[in-house]
Amino acid sequence: MSDNRQGQLTIWGRANSVNVQKVLWCLRELDLAYQRIDAGMAFGRNNDPDYLAMNPNGRVPTLVDGDFVLWESNSIMRYLVLAYGKGSPVYPEAPKPRAGVDRWLDWTLSTLQPVDRPVFWALVRTPVGQRDMAAIQKDADAEGLQWRIVDRQLASRRFIEGDDFTIADIALGAYARRWFGVEGISKPKFSNLERWFAEFAGRPGFRQFIAPPMS
């Protein structure tokens, strides 16, 4: 266990949220102790005044570290490494490798998440009888175009930014689990993406927080 002022870290958010999952996986990579409090969807609490005072978006996750409060999952991952994982290759210090990691964190939020969401919600959180499979396939085709970009990047790299596993692999990997996990649509075969996925699928943080059944 690292020297992380153990016991101070609290994560608010339900464990089936992809954005919470990224943070939990990151905490595991850094071997940090924390407590997690369920919030969001069926658990509620995220629109209560005390929660909104921490996170005006009413979204999960939120990190509380003593008197410091932070929202946005990728920002939380960066903070955790900077505060408690100094020197860790998961978020490199040199400007160019760091910028390479940052671009995938941004890309995940700006480009991948919007095309993943309709597919995930339709195939995981919508009753079978209410699914419009033709529309879902169209959405899956749109998502496939984005995964093709990742697949090509991975043609010449072990992980998304090179030889080291980074928080960019966490962000992308959490979504890749969904992409590989949804069924009932046709998906292109992406060999580099599959090889990369297998590289980290055995990591304890992935197995504990990302691999469990989607809900």
Ligand X SMILES: N[C@@H](CCC(=O)N[C@@H](CS)C(=O)NCC(=O)O)C(=O)O
CB of 110 to ligand X, least distance (A): 10
60 binds ligand X per the rule CB under 6 A: yes
41 binds ligand X per the rule CB under 6 A: yes
- Exactly one of 29, 65, 72, 169 binds ligand X (CB under 6 A); which one? 72
- Exactly one of 4, 73, 146, 166 binds ligand X (CB under 6 A); which one? 73
CB of 94 to ligand X, least distance (A): 25
Q: Provide Rg for the chain, Cα atoms.
A: 17
**DSSP structure class, residue 59:** -
55 binds ligand X per the rule CB under 6 A: no
116 binds ligand X per the rule CB under 6 A: no
150 binds ligand X per the rule CB under 6 A: no
CB of 109 to ligand X, least distance (A): 6
59 binds ligand X per the rule CB under 6 A: yes
Question: CA distances (Å), 153 to each of 148, 156, 158, 168, in order?
Answer: 9, 7, 10, 13
How far apart, in whole angstroms, are the C-alpha atoms of residue 181 and residue 122? 13
List, as one string, the DSSP characters of 89-142: TTS--SHHHHHHHHHHHHHIIIIIHHHHHHHHHHHHSS-GGG--HHHHHHHHHH
166 binds ligand X per the rule CB under 6 A: no
- Exactly one of 4, 17, 88, 166 binds ligand X (CB under 6 A); which one? 17
69 binds ligand X per the rule CB under 6 A: no
Query: Residue 68: what are its φ and ψ, rounded to 5°?
Result: -105, 130
State which residue, 160 or 190, has the beta carbon closest to ligand X: 160
Residue from 105, 109, 119 nearest 179 by CA: 119
46 binds ligand X per the rule CB under 6 A: yes
Query: What is the torsional sign of CA 182, 160, 201, 70?
Result: negative
Question: CA distances (Å), 120 to each of 17, 139, 184, 198, in order?
Answer: 11, 10, 12, 21
18 binds ligand X per the rule CB under 6 A: yes
Q: Which residues bind ligand X (CB under 6 A)?
A: 17-19, 40-41, 46, 59-61, 72-73, 109
